[in-house]
Amino acid sequence: MTRPFATFALAAAALPVLAACATTDDGAAPRPAGDTCQAQPGQAFIGRTASAAVGAELLAATRSREIRWVPPGMMVTMDYKFGRLTVSYDEAMKIVSVSCS
C-alpha cells in the first residue's frame, strides 16, 4: 500500500467517528438517519391515561419502533436506544413525560 493511499484510508475511516461527535447549533448531538423517534408529537399525550391503546397511538404519532413504559419510582438505564420512546406515568396512570431514548 502506498503512503498517500494509507493516509487517505485512515482519514476516511475516521470520518464516521468524528461525525458522531459533532453537535448541532443548539448544542445537541445530531441523531443518526435511522432514528425515527420524534418526541414532540408525544407531548400532546401528557395527562392522558396510560394504556395499550394509547401506547399504540404514541408509537404512531412519534414514529417510534418501541415503547418503554416507566411506572412511578422505577429506575431506568440512561442508555440511548434509537427508535425507542420512553413514557413515564404517575400513580394514577397519567402520562407525565414522553421522550426519545
Higher-pLDDT residue of 6 and 44 is: 44
Average pLDDT rounded to a whole number, residues 19-23: 40
Average pLDDT rounded to a whole number, residues 77-88: 88
Mean pLDDT of the chain: 78
61 CB-contact burial (10 Å; exposed 0-12 / middle 13-18 / buried 19+):
middle
Higher-pLDDT residue of 31 and 46 is: 46
pLDDT score of 19? 41
pLDDT score of 82? 83
- pTM score of the predicted model: 0.65
What are the residue ranges spanned by the domains of the chain? 27-100
Q: Please tell me the distance from the alpha carbon of residue 90 to that of residue 65, in angstroms, as a whole number.
A: 23
CATH of domain 27-100: 3.30.10.10
pLDDT > 90? residue 99: yes
Average pLDDT rounded to a whole number, residues 89-98: 97
pLDDT score of 30? 56
